[in-house]
Amino acid sequence: MSTEAQPGTVTIEQVDPAATYDLRARVLRPGRPVQITGDDAPFTLHLAARTGDGEVVGVVRFHPQDCPWQVAEAAWQLRGMATDPRVRGLGAGRALVAEGLSRVVARGGDLVWCDARASAVGFYQRIGFTVVTEPYDLRPVGPHLGMVVELPIR
């Protein structure tokens, strides 16, 4: 990739799961299988942020899944959230989640939840999620907190 990614230069698009694997492997799951259960399920939505030259610099996935902590008619889980270290803080993560939430609403979803790594809680809070649990351990990563956002965001 060019190292010149600038704010506003990424585009968000729906992709096949395989397009997310390289970034997942590098950022999120080093030494672990890149695939997550349900990647190929028909309703699973994979999004990627691409620079102008087509490089994937951010990924996320959403799939229908009941929320462990909050009752909802149609809950979806966010997983596999990662951006390339070279574009952090430039808005790619926010753009990915915003597009995902919009698409989840279009599919009838009324809540999105995630197991947020403790180090990423601030990011999710910035984009509208709320912490709803105490910290819990998810191996091999470590401490996580349950977070939710009710949809549509008003």
Ligand X SMILES: CC(C)(COP(=O)(O)OP(=O)(O)OC[C@H]1O[C@@H](n2cnc3c(N)ncnc32)[C@H](O)[C@@H]1OP(=O)(O)O)[C@@H](O)C(=O)NCCC(=O)NCCS
Q: List the one residue from 2, 6, 119, 130 that touches ligand X (CB under 6 A).
A: 119
CB 116 within 8 A of CB 127: no
Q: List the one residue from 17, 47, 75, 93 that touches ligand X (CB under 6 A).
A: 93
Nearer of residues 44 and 144 to ligand X, judged by Cβ: 144
Tell me: does residue 59 bind ligand X (CB under 6 A): no
Among 28, 150, 40, which Cα is nearest to 101's?
150
Which residue has tokens 């609403």? 105
Tell me how far the alpha carbon of residue 61 is from its chain's centroid. Answer: 5
Tell me: does residue 9 bind ligand X (CB under 6 A): no
Query: Which residues have a Cβ under 8 Å from the Cβ of 126 and sit 6 or more positions away?
Result: 94
Task: Please tell me the count of residues contacting ligand X according to CB under 6 A.
Answer: 20
Distance separating alpha carbons of residues 49 and 32, to the nearest angstrom = 23
To ligand X, the closest distance from the beta carbon of 82 in angstroms equals: 4
Query: What is the binding site for ligand X (CB under 6 A)?
Result: 27-28, 81-83, 87-94, 116-117, 119-120, 122-123, 126
